[in-house]
Amino acid sequence: MTPLFITFEGPEGAGKSTQLRRLAERLGAEGVRHIVTREPGGTPLGTRVREVLLDPGLTIDPLPEFLLYSASRAQLVREIIRPALERGEVVLCDRYADSSLAYQGAGRGLDTSFLRMLTREVTGGLTPDLTVLLDLDPGVGLTRAANRGQPDRLERADLGFHRRVRQGFLDLAAGEPGRFLVLDASRGVETLAAAIWHAVGERLGAPAP
C-alpha cells in the first residue's frame, strides 16, 4: 500500500468533517488502512491548543495565533502523521498548513513568505499528496456553522475576513492545481463524496465507482 497524506480544507461550514468521515468509511470498506486526525488537535498538546485558539472569550493577535497553530502542527506531524505514513497508511487530516496561509495570511494579513518558511521548519517540509478544497460562499458557510451551535472565535470574525480567507484558499489552489481538488460545497453530500473517492481511488490505484 502506497501511503497517502490527504487534507480537507475550506471556509467555515463547508462540510469538511462530513466529507472526511465519508471518505474514512469508504477506505474502511475497501480494507485500506488509514487514520483520521485534525488541526488543531490530534495530540494531547494539540487538543489543549485547540481549546485556546477557538475560545470566543479570548483576543489573540495574528502572530501568536499562527505560532500556536504551528506548535500544534509540529507535534501532530512528529507524533501522528509521519509515523502513520511510514507504516504505509493513508492519513486523513481535517485542516493543515494551507489553513494558516488562508486564515493568518490572506485573512489576517501576515507575510505569507514568513508563514511558509516557518511551516517548512515545523513540518519538515511535509506536504499533502491531495488537498480537497470544499469551496463555499462565506455567508452560506457561516449560516451553516451558526446552526451547529455557539460560534467559536474564528466563526465570530467579520464577513470581510471570511471572504479573504475563501479567496486565499482559491489562490492556493490555483497555484498548485496538481495537488488541489476544488469542489463546490453547495453540491449534495453524495455527489461530493463520489467526486472525492474518484480522486482518491486514482491515487490508490483503485477502480473508479
Give the annotated binding-site residues for ATP.
Answer: 10-17
Percentages (nearest 5) of helix, strand, coil residues in the chain: 55, 15, 30
Q: What is the DSSP string of 51-63?
A: HHHT-TT----HH
- Phi then psi for residue 134, to 5 deg, are -95, 105
User: What span, in angstroms and rounded, lies between the C-alpha atoms of 112 and 130?
Assistant: 21
CA max distance for the chain: 49
Q: Which segments are annotated as binding site?
A: 10-17
Assign residue 138 a region (left: φ > 0; alpha: ψ between -120 and 50; beta: otherwise): alpha
User: What span, in angstroms and rounded, lies between the C-alpha atoms of 82 and 86?
Assistant: 6
First to last CA, the chain: 19
Q: What is the DSSP string of 69-135?
A: HHHHHHHHIIIIIHHHHHTT-EEEEES-HHHHIIIIIIIT---HHHHHHHHHHHHTT---SEEEEEE
